[in-house]
């Protein structure tokens, strides 16, 4: 596996996860869209009513990657699914199996919970990520587009 550990995020990890979110925003050239905070992240991951879960990768004591996910639902399967919102590994730690381990962990959680699908989005210009996902066995669906209303 390598010199890293994957584990479920717990209260106190929100600052590390938020810094990784900032790293993801920088990588995707979307830093200007990050308007949240580690405090909101803590509330939404670990508060009274949670909206998402996360797994964290650390090399020693250094956070090097994360995956954040939440439930969705398939009416066609009549089963819950998992939507992987973000998967990110710090660039200097890529190629060590961390991304695959994070994705495998989220997939195993979805399977254990009886989910019918694990889905996520990828930017069309992000060829390294697309290649990684295809190598993992994911199908990149060409017929679907994301629709969004900002509230």
Active site residue ranges: 133
Angle, to 10 degrees, between the axis of helix 127-136 and the axis of helix 98-112? 50
- Apex CA 16: angle with CA 12 and CA 50, to 5°? 55
- H or E element in which residue 41 lies: helix 38-46
DSSP letters for 46-77: HSSS---EEEEEEETTEEEEEEEEEEEEETTT
- H or E element in which residue 111 lies: helix 98-112
- Distance CA(116)–CA(81), nearest Å, equals 5
| Number of Cα atoms under 13 Å in the Cβ half of residue 90 | 16
């Amino acid at each position: 596996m390598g010199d890293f550990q994957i584990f479920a995020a717990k209260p106190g990890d929100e600052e590390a996860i938020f810094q990784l979110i900032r790293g993801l925003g920088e990588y995707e050239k979307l830093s200007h869209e990050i308007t949240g905070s580690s405090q909101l992240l803590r509330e939404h991951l670990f508060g009274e009513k949670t909206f998402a879960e996360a797994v964290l990768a650390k090399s020693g004591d250094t956070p090097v990657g994360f995956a954040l996910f939440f439930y969705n639902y398939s009416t066609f399967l009549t089963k819950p699914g998992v939507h992987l919102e973000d998967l990110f590994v710090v660039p200097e730690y890529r190629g060590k199996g961390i991304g695959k381990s994070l994705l495998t962990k989220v997939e195993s959680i979805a399977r254990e919970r009886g989910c019918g699908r694990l889905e996520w989005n990828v930017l069309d210009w992000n060829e390294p990520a697309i290649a990684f996902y295809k190598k993992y066995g994911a199908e990149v669906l060409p017929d679907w587009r994301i629709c969004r209303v900002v509230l």
